[in-house]
Structure 1
Amino acid sequence: MSEPLHFLAATDVSARLAAGTLTSEQITQAVIDRTRAVEDRVQAFTHRDEADALAQARASDARRSSGASLGPLDGVPVSLKDVLACAGQPLTCGSRMLANFVSPYDSTVVARLRAAGAVLWGRLNMDEFAMGSSTENSAMHPTANPWDLERIPGGSSGGSAAALAAGESILTIGSDTGGSVRQPAALCGVVGLKPTYGRVSRFGLVAYASSLDQVGPMGRSVDDVALLLGAVAGHDERDSTSVDRPVPDYAAAMRENVGPWRVGLPREYFGDGLNPEVRASVERAVAFYREQGCEIVDVSLPNTGYAVATYYIIATAEASSNLARYDGVRYGHRSAKANGAIDLYFQSRAEGFGEEVKRRIILGTYVLSSGYYDAYYLRAQKVRTLIRNDFMRAFERVDFLLTPTSPVPAFKKGERTADPLAMYLADIYTISANLAGLPGLSLPCGFTECGLPIGLQLLGKPFDEPRLLAAARRYEQAHDWHLRRPTL
């Protein structure tokens, strides 16, 4: 039985479009029809414009028929996390603060997708201002995991992962500040990549923590992620943190990197708190790489135990600064109850921000305040350097690190909302890569007995995405985890 159109891999869609056996209008209509059928249960989107998507698809078909195709992404539907500016579309960041805001311009990532001919299809749900691990913090609605609608899809890019898993889009874009692409990818059984910091422009990405945020591609296969990364990566003068170095042909580079590799297993990632089924699936992946001739090396990242505390000091401090702009004066929610300028600021922020965002703003303001800056923020920055140094020492011995993506499979809705610390620990294996600015990739490596996806994480050296993609592709091609689909 052939795969339904809405579940096709992006590379398959691209090949069919090039061969003329499929039109962009057909594949776009297929994901629209699928979304109409399942979206009331999945709730992955915050906004959809079917007419606009179909108009983009027809324009793509017209280009192809005239021999003016813009490349492999031309005509392929791509959905965007609601944190990237897209001219003329809502930009809510999952918050009441921006509930009525429409973006006046395109982010660099969106501009590059337009230049590649992608069909921009909808806005995807997220934890408010990307602060969360379950997409339960969205002010719009919670998103469900397509594998079990009573469970969370991960976060903060939960809508991006759920839409892919449910067949509501062909490719999606997320953002990753502490694991927000990789963790939902793992929990929903798709592939997600956090590129090296500076590899993809942050211009037009609404800031949470500027030294940690990175835009990341998500797809149903490693090939799909390589295709999407190639379209959005590259230097951008409008982003001062963007790195000016050539963008490789990721699809070709990962095929040239054939291994065998030296694979590092950081002992700190296999300790207490790791779900037994997750551990067993990851250990089977280790055995696979050993069978492929790879050398398995035990390594240590001794400062890993400080990563969660370090992350939540640095990230909240930067959030406190970045979110100060939402004051009810220039744009965003403006309270109707205020009396005077100071009260306007207070009331607008009290009404516009959710509880988790308020919690992080308060914590960030505290660690930056007089008398506490040195004790918390400055010390956290020093520990961040130690964490990065741990990785660099490990990479002197190995080509990449192999770890679980998440310590547990998808948990039930509401299970951790009353315990913020338990929620924060959901990202324990992903946040260190953001602190160190490293690339990280999650791909499916199994399922639990009750049918929930399990993710395998590969962490690499700066700008070594081709090797990560190659190693992930080697595993993927020998297994069928990424080909399984949820029943909705």
Structure 2
Amino acid sequence: MSDELNWLSAREMARRFAKGELSPIDVLEATLAHLHTVNPALNAICLLDEAQGRRLAAESAERWHSGAPLGPLDGVPVAIKDTAHVAGWPTRIGSHATPAVPSTEDTPGVARLREAGAVFFCKTSTPEFGWKGITHGPLTGITRNPWDVSRTPGGSSGGSAALVAAGVVPLATGGDGGGSIRIPAAFSGVFGLKPSYGVVPNFPGPMGTLAVYGGLSRDVADSALMLNVLTRPDVRDSFAIPYRGIDYLDGLDDGVAGMRIAWSPDLGFPVADSAVVAGMQPAIDALVKAGADVQRVALDLSGAQHTLEVIWGASHAALVRDFDGAQLVALDPGLLRLVISAQNISAIQLQAAYAEMRVLSQKMQLFHGDYDLLLTPTIPITAFAAGVDTPDATRFPQWFDWTPLTWPFNLTRQPAASVPCGFVEGLPIGLQIVGPMFSEQNILRASRCVEQACATGARPSLAAGGLPRKDKQ
């Protein structure tokens, strides 16, 4: 019974809660038991509050019993990435430099989930200040992939992805400033959506329009359900678009017939693994069979890398500008190198990078005049060894060199998702589906089509690859 509960969707949990067949208390106990089983291998959490989880689950159970649930996520366990504030819990963001003092308020997305009755019991691991596309750092050590614990789950939402993939929670939150939802979704074999900038209210930060709030799930419909909650308004974000009241579950199974879809295996970056590209074909075939017109295009976005490097470096340098010498020395060595290299970025250079970002956005807006959606591999390689920043320092000197298909759409502010579409040598791969601004519904419909065609029902084995003795840096 417990194992069955661990793999229920959020929607199925709510259905059973409503019928009285299941209690949020039962789900939370199964969740905690499974977490204690798998987390020693995964190292996916940085905070555990079982007492709060049990209290929230009991309150939810009483609401369901009295016929007054707060919504379809009431009683559903949700893991929270430790880049967001949860009132009463510290927000460390993977850093020794952040004080372990309780936050006084919820991040907007967390506030919406709390209002919906979600059960919070843990925070998930992230690299320091979310600065890279993998999940390890000085504070929390190395987070591992449920499909092969010798490999990384990706990042920076790696702890969230690992818990979803391992069957601990049906939903986990994430943030995406350069691919940080989609990278771990692809490496860990789960679904992740980066909404358009402004769709989900958030606290504005140094990364400007690059970063958005979102989440990960084991199926597309659960992410649509979560988006219904996250998009509700919050007056603390003056940059959020007006609330539109969209039900993202509406039309989810309407298909893609008549859609014009572009396919680029590399976006002009010569890094794609041929086996990964070949692994996209069943998903592409499924979209064609469903009535979409899919055409391969020669879309070259490789000129945008310098833009990303300038903005990324300046943003992270701003995060640590008030640190003293001891705090700087304690940083992740890669992050320290990044912020040191960014010290000489001038205001003129930064403004030029923002101008280039706007040109790129305009280019993609014109592109989508011809195509409803764009397909790429999410990541051009499979998950590599845990604990390193790059699988090959010569071929990929920096993390953004092996993730060139995700971060362009942070620069353009477009919505993009990673949907599981198969395996290469036993490791998950994901198809990235990108749309013009505010086209989340079309992306979800196409993702659902791929999911229905490519889902295997496979579950990860934590024994694969073995667990190294030392799990700290």
TM over 0.5: same fold?
A: yes
Residue 351 of structure 1 deviates from its aligned partner by: 4.0
SS in 1 for 2:120: strand
Q: Could you tell me how far apart the structure 1 residues matched to 2:245 and 2:341 are?
A: 38
Counterpart of 1:228? 226
> Secondary structure of 1:250's match?
coil
Deviation track 1:73-110 (CA, whole Å, cap 9, x = no partner) reads 00000010001000111211011011523212111111
Counterparts of 1:8 and 1:426, CA distance in 2: 33
1:340 counterpart residue number: none
What's the CA shift string for 1:142-176, capped at 9, x where partnerless? 10001000001101111010011112222100000
Say whether 1:455 aligns with 2:452. Answer: no
CA displacement at 1:422 relative to structure 2: 4.1
- Give 1:208 deviation, angstroms: 5.2
AA aligned opposite 1:357: L
Alignment counterpart, residue 289 of structure 1, candidates 287, 290, 302: 287
Aligned residue number for residue 339 of structure 1: none
Please list every run of at least 4 consecutive aligned residues from structure 1 whose deviation after the TM superposition is greater than 6 angstroms.
Answer: none
Partner of 1:438: 414
Match of 2:343 in 1: 365
Map 1:42-441 → 2, pairs under 5 A: 42-137=42-137, 139-203=139-203, 207=205, 209-256=207-254, 258-266=256-264, 268-269=266-267, 272-302=270-300, 304-324=301-321, 326-327=322-323, 345-347=324-326, 349-368=327-346, 373-374=347-348, 376-416=349-389, 419=393, 421-441=397-417
For 2:267, give the aligned amino acid. Answer: Y
Distance 1:154 1:291, change over 3 A: same
Equivalent position amino acid for 1:472 in 2: S
Deviations for 1:174-204, whole angstroms, at most 9, x for unmatched residues? Answer: 000000000100000000000000111122x
Instruction: Tell me: CA distance 1:182–1:208, structure 2 relative to 1, closer, same or farther (3 Å).
Output: farther
Q: Following the alignment from structure 1 to structure 2, what is the Cα–Cα distance between the partners of residues 361 and 235? A: 34
* Distance across 1 between alignment mates of 2:243 and 2:167: 35
More helix by share: 1
Q: What is the CA RMSD across the aligned residues, in angstroms?
A: 2.0
Report the CA distance shift for 1:10/1:294 in structure 2 as closer, same or farther (over 3 A): same
| Alignment-mate amino acid for residue 441 of structure 2 | P
**Distance change (3 Å), C-alpha of 1:3 and 1:139:** closer
| 1:131–1:356 Cα contact (<8 Å) kept | no
Aligned CA distance change for structure 1 residues 133 and 258 (closer, same or farther; 3 Å): closer
Deviations 1:402-456 (A, max 9, x none): 110001010012454583724221221000110000000001000112x100011
Equivalent residue, structure 1, for 2:470: none
- From 455, 461, 465, the counterpart of 1:487: 461
Q: 1:57: how far off?
A: 0.4
Q: Name the CA distance, whole Å, in 2 between partners of 1:323 and 1:238.
A: 24
Structure 1's 99 and 43: CA in aligned 2 closer, same or farther, altered over 3 A? farther
What code does the residue aligned with 1:377 have? L
Alpha carbons 1:154, 1:183 under 8 Å: kept: yes
State how far apart, in whole Å, the 2-side matches of 1:114 and 1:220 are. 21
Structure 2: runs of 5 or more not aligned: 463-473
* 1:474 shift after superposition: 1.3
Cα shift at 1:18: 1.7
Cα displacement (A) at 1:46: 0.2
- The one-letter code matched in structure 2 to 1:448 is V
Asked if the contact 2:266/2:376 (under 8 Å) is kept, the reply is no
Asked whether the 8 Å contact 2:265–2:277 carries over to 1, the reply is: no
Give how far 1:122 is off.
0.4
The C-alpha deviation readout for 1:3-61, integer Å capped at 9, x for no partner, is: 62112222221221122211101111111000011111001000111121011001000
What is the count of residue pairs matched by the alignment? 459
Which residue of the partner structure matches residue 335 of structure 1? none
Match of 1:333 in 2: none
Between the aligned partners of 2:253 and 2:105, the Cα distance in structure 1 is 37
Q: CA deviation at 1:471?
A: 0.8
Would the aligned equivalents of 2:255 and 2:449 in 1 still touch at CA under 8 Å? no
CA, structure 1 residues 208+186, in 2 after alignment: closer, same or farther (shift >3 Å)? farther
- 2:459 alignment partner AA: R
Query: 1:234 touches 1:244 (CA, 8 Å); kept in 2?
Result: no
- Structure 1's unaligned 5+ residue stretches are 328-344
Q: Which amino acid counterpart does residue 485 of structure 1 have in structure 2?
A: R
Identity of aligned residues (%): 35
- 2:469 corresponding residue in structure 1: none
Asked if structure 2 preserves the Cα contact closer than 8 Å seen for 1:130 and 1:208, the reply is no
SS at match of 1:46: strand
| Match runs of 1:31-46 below 5 Å | 31-46=31-46
Once the two structures are TM-superposed, the CA of residue 354 in structure 1 deviates from its matched residue by 2.3
Match of 1:10 in 2: 10
1:478, distance to aligned residue in structure 2 (A): 2.2
